[in-house]
Structure 1
Amino acid sequence: DCPHPTCSGHGWCVGGTCVCQKGWQGPDCSQMDMDALQCLPDCNGHGAFSVENHACVCDQPWTGSDCSKKACSLDCGPHGSCENDACHCHIGWIGPTCSERLCDTRCSEHGQCKNGTCVCMTGWNGRHCTLSGCPGNCRNRGTCEADHEGIWRCRCETGWDGTDCSAMLETQCNDNTDNDRDGLVDCEDPECCTHHSCNGSVLCVSTAPPIDILLRKQPPGATASFFEKMRFLIEEDSLQLFTNGDNFNQRFESYVPCRLRLLENNAFWTRLRYR
């Protein structure tokens, strides 16, 4: 048996003999080895090595296994780490304590970063404020205004339309002239249907929306011809026309005005305006 069952807590009993830990000697490992102490870690000059604990005991404000890191007085939270009394933030976070979200670099051109959200300047939209809501300053034919959702867009003057107020509208509806150069004259143009000169015009008579017709009548089958499908929608009043601009999203509008003549069984005439 060993002189001491646990070798004084500084070694291991092997075959009746104490095998001492570094820094200890003697039959029961109870005596400090002064020669070995000279080779112990110096803890970077910020602490002392404990032979009892086999670890550095650091001076304030130092920390780490070798006392090489200065303890931080800052709380860097979950998005950073403190080194040498300063917060080093993780990617996507900034601020003295890494508590502020970082915006995309594109935000700085037309916006201001506020806790990860890019707040756009007047006239700019999008997550990073890269989308112009009022292209070309509305061509000086309107004003750039924000809606209730904070989206900037052009509010065009009378007679103009489009995302940048560059599309001319028909405003003179009784001069027999195609003023907006869209191929439609006076009451042929849906924009004139609200004008007093077009009251009662057959071209401005509105019938029920297609969804209402579909709800009260059996629609043609899937194999029906285009003529049959069109006639199903217009046969009640020989006309299907929308004059309410709210039916369309003008921000995404493009149109091709045309007249379409089809002859199949019974001839009919219709006018299309594609949006």
Structure 2
Amino acid sequence: MHTETLVQSMLVPLFLILLSTVDDTLLQSVSQVGGVCKLTTESSLRRCKTPDGKICSGRGKCDCGICICEARDPGKFYGPRCECHDWVCAAHNGQPCNDRGYCDCGICECDEGWFGDACQFQEECNLPSKKSKELCKNPQGVVCSNRGTCHCGSCMCENEDNRGLVTGRFCECDDSDCLDEDTGEVCGGHGQCYCGNCYCAAGWHGDKCEFQCDISPWESKRRCTSPDGKICSNRGSCVCGECNCYDVDPSGDWGDIHGDTCECDERNCHATYDRYTDDFCSGNGQCNCGRCDCKEGWAGKKCEHPVSCSLSLESSVKKCRGKSNLPCFGRGQCQCGQCTCFPPGDSRVHGKNCECDDRQCEGIGGEVCGGHGYCSCGRCICEKGWFGKLCQFPRSCDMSDTESKELCETSDGVICSGKGSCHCGKCICSPQDWWVSGEYCECDDRECDKHDGLTCTGNGLCNCGNCECWDGWTGNACEIWMGTEY
């Protein structure tokens, strides 16, 4: 008896839903005759309205009772009321639905054996407790940032009031920062929140997506499109038809980017050596929208070549280049075939083409060749009994193989992260993979920023994916000279 009642209670609402769907379809099919809408404006809008009173979920326009959804990158809105959008499904480790399910109208449908808003939790866990706990530690070593519990190597974040405002791989994000103070809605109901930051829907902007543009998203996009067809030349963000250009340095003193569509990039006026000074066009010209207009007596793309020089520009650059792809190895100024090495007064950079950089022999702490050798044109010559790029490894030691390997093991029991060999309790990272570094070979130096094609611009050392700049240098890639002007 109970079973029959349960089945009937499920079938009745299901029948009503199906009936409603059929009714909507029939109504829509007869709502237009000969291309003319037969519905009143009120009736048309009623069909397009969502339960919360929005027309087409605020993501499209109503045409005779049918929603025409906006098309916008990176995906599209869809559904009878434009209520669905697949690209905002929860992600874990950078993968939508953790690659353990699929996205359906903004909600992850998980594969069997997985659960969670991003399918990040496994129902059956085979991980040891210690390994699970290690995987849940944030960069500061705190399990789930003290805002959640660890389950099989993944953090289950606190979920007060069932709003799910604590998010992130390590529960490091507080999405309450996205709540509109007046309405209490996330991003004012006009955007999505990612780690405490609002990403607004087309036509809306502001920290909480509280402001609406007075032009359509399509017109906004048209106004922000640069001559090469890119939005703000890929150097800025478009807000209501106006480009907010990015700048390398917030002060505007370095790498000024401007123009209606950010099409002008003054960084193009900096010659290789000009990163040591604020001079544009080698100090011999005027920069106009990223192009150098040279003073009389100077030539070249960056006004670096004196017309009075007996060598052609090509011959001059060739003499300065030596075995490098950059004039003066990217460490000096080339003028009429002669290199002047920079920074000025630093004897560690020397050679006919500035090919020797003895700073490369220094460790993070400034010690030359680990105190076990001397530097010769940027390379360490090690004392007897020592080896390595910085003479940091002794050839022999008083410890057993077992003792040595214990010092090389990571928390999950892998020696040197599987990317190197263990010697005297220290990891020697694979020389074939130059980018592998770190105490346990856990770092990827390819993540270090480059400038002029050089990692850390040659003015610092790459330390576990981040540039550690030498004195006088700053910037993500150590590209900005802050020392004495030459």
Looking at CA atoms only, which structure, 1 or 2, has the larger radius of gyration?
Answer: 1
Q: Which TM-score band (shorter chain)?
A: under 0.3
So what's the TM-score if we normalise by structure 1? 0.25
Give the structure with the higher percent helix.
2
> Which structure has the higher relative contact order (CA within 8 Å, separation 6+)?
1
